[in-house]
Structure 1
Amino acid sequence: MTEQTGQTQESERALRSRTAPPLTAPPPRPLGEHRRWPRSFADRLSAPLPGVRAMARLAREGALRPSPQGLRGIAELPFAPGPLPAVDTATVAVTWAGHASWVVRIGGLTVLTDPVWSRRILGTPARLTPVGVRWEDLPPVDAVVISHNHYDHLDAPTLRRLPRRTPLFVPAGLARWCRRRGFTRVTELDWWESAELAVPGREPVRFDFVPAHHWSKRSLTDTCRSLWGGWVLGDRRGQRVYFAGDTGYGHWFKEIGRRHPGLDLALLPIGAYAPRWWLRDVHADPEEAVQACEDLGARRMAPMHWGTFVLSAEPVLEPLARVRAAWERTGRPRAHLWDLPVGASRVLAA
């Protein structure tokens, strides 16, 4: 069997697994393996990308940023940096650094999600809130997970701060970008695949890559050339944190919950949703994020992807008010909504 034929069969198996999951989860993939992928992942889109008419409508309406009144809440954005909590191998702790960047402590490891420590990203104004954790206050970073390649989730200046032997876990098709920048331990996964990282003196942690309702693009010529998704991080005690990355609402949440029952915490995006006709397919609004948490069967929810960068037209404080109201309507314990200020932490005891 040629390598290309083997890759074709591997891609077909991955496509079938989206609707017909195996009875048992496949074993973890080897770390750092070099793999071949299809030229495009456009067949994974949940909805067609906007066309010329939609772009023209957006230009006519000009609803790209909040109104002056919607920006008045900037001074009230919650920002309360504090020291990272002390943890052991049995403790899970999360700290919101802002946007989709979290410091996740699990199994004794320190894992960064979509780390963006830059003051600004391409095409947007500067950050509304500072980074919640100073880079020099981070413990040694044991791993990084990337959800997709958009600039507010994959930030080259931040990654350059890391040692090049830092393990990176990335979507299918993105390893080449990372390796070109000198990273030597890059593991790229397809949906429903996993890998496991064992660090001496710590517990092994499993990284499962799961679907999202989104897309990828970093230049004019690479639309959907790499995959997009979220991550489930789990330790040997069965404690698991779901990091959604960037996603709209849709059917994948129930499937993720079915394959990963009993999630302890879901880190879910609630911002960058207006105008709704433009962003509905790729960005969940606060009410949809709460419904996604319900679909997942997650015990707790921590909102993210709001209050950091101005990416859309909703008032800057609106996502927080709406997610709190939506959560209250569910009747679930208020303490299970971890609506953290930027820089704050929560600990999940074993």
Structure 2
Amino acid sequence: MRGSLQYIGNATTLIRYNGFTLLTDPNFLHRGQRAYLGYGMSSRRLRDPAVEIEELPALDAVVLSHMHGDHWDRVARRGLDRETPIVTTTAAARSLRRWGFRRSVGLEKFEQHELHGPQGSVIITALPARHAPGPAEALLPPVIGTMVEFCNRDERVELRLHISGDTLLDRRLDAIPIRFPEIDLAIVHLGGTRLFGFLLVTMDGEQGASWVDLINPRTVVPVHYDDYAVFSSPLDDFRNHVERAGLADRVVYLDRGETRELAPHRLVRH
């Protein structure tokens, strides 16, 4: 097996490929604990993560879309090795370095960071994302999507994996399929998150289906849809909309804790 993708919960996944191990958006709070979202807002976690932070393997890097309490929590801050590189927004990287994560790397849109190993390299590219509509965007932490390209020793891309980050469907995302017309696997953040009870700040099922049509990946894994009370769009909303759009054959649904094999240019379907 060349690698694997494991769904841990919320937007947290463990990606292993070609000798590299990456963790996305580490959220290890337990059911009943609160994630803090700023401006006095918080949301209670409804489900436990499938893996405890102490059970993680050694990490080559963490890919962090933004600094919100359901993506980087107090458990991650206490429990992760401070020598682990964390690839994130420039704003989040500044905070992380103040907290002792001195190898944090902040990227602007389309900037890259590269990791090297005995079997090849990983190129992580920051991509556009929009966490809130209109002027409300300024109230939330900056966010990025990411493209993770696993390259072999000959520098050829074997697997291209896109992580949406917390975003709404927005015209600035149009640049992604232009720059990356061939995407093997996409991890899409859904949930229809509503702040203050009305402000939509992540894609609901309808937007998520349109996002799949826009980004055009070979395979899609949905995450970030039922862990917190602020989510308003259940997974079935997404399922219904991708079926109506004729895109259902691209979607792989993973249960918490489930692992699927990653092979060159594909997620292996069971």
- Do they superpose with TM above 0.5? yes
- Against the structure 1 CA distance between its residues 331 and 211, is the aligned structure 2 distance closer, same or farther, given a 3 Å change threshold? same
- Against the structure 1 CA distance between its residues 296 and 345, is the aligned structure 2 distance closer, same or farther, given a 3 Å change threshold? same
**Does structure 2 conserve the Cα–Cα contact (< 8 Å) formed by 1:101 and 1:113?**
yes
- Superposed, 1:1-350 pairs within 5 Å as 87-88=1-2, 91=3, 93-119=4-30, 120=33, 121-122=35-36, 123-199=41-117, 201-214=118-131, 223=139, 227-236=142-151, 237-273=157-193, 278-280=198-200, 282-312=201-231, 314=232, 319-332=234-247, 334=249, 336-350=250-264
Cα distance between partner residues in 2 of 1:129 and 1:214: 23
2:135 maps to none
Which one has the bigger strand percentage?
2
Cα offset, 1:196, TM superposition: 0.3
Cα distance between partner residues in 1 of 2:219 and 2:77: 29
Output the aligned Cα RMSD: 2.3
Cα offset, 1:135, TM superposition: 2.7
Equivalenced residue count is 247
Cα distance between partner residues in 2 of 1:290 and 1:278: 21
For each residue in 1:51-80, what CA deviation from the matched residue of structure 2 results, as whole angstroms up to 9, or x when unmatched? xxxxxxxxxxxxxxxxxxxxxxxxxxxxxx
Secondary structure (helix, strand or coil) at the match of 2:15 reads strand
TM-score (norm 2): 0.83
**Does structure 2 conserve the Cα–Cα contact (< 8 Å) formed by 1:124 and 1:310?**
no
Cα offset, 1:230, TM superposition: 0.9
Cα offset, 1:269, TM superposition: 1.8
Unpaired segments of 5 or more residues in structure 1? 1-86, 216-221
Greater CA radius of gyration, 1 or 2? 1
Of structures 1 and 2, the one scoring higher in RCO (CA 8 A, sep 6+) is: 1
Unpaired segments of 5 or more residues in structure 2? 133-137, 152-156, 265-270
Cα offset, 1:125, TM superposition: 5.0
For each residue in 1:96-149, what CA deviation from the matched residue of structure 2 results, as whole angstroms up to 9, or x when unmatched? 111111111133211111101122222545422210123333221110011111
Q: What amino acid is the match of 2:101?
A: F
For each residue in 1:154-212, what CA deviation from the matched residue of structure 2 results, as whole angstroms up to 9, or x when unmatched? 2232132122110111102222211111112111110011110113x342101000010
**Does structure 1 conserve the Cα–Cα contact (< 8 Å) formed by 2:167 and 2:189?**
yes
Q: What amino acid is the match of 1:150?
A: H
**Does structure 2 conserve the Cα–Cα contact (< 8 Å) formed by 1:107 and 1:205?**
no
Q: What amino acid is the match of 1:133?
A: V
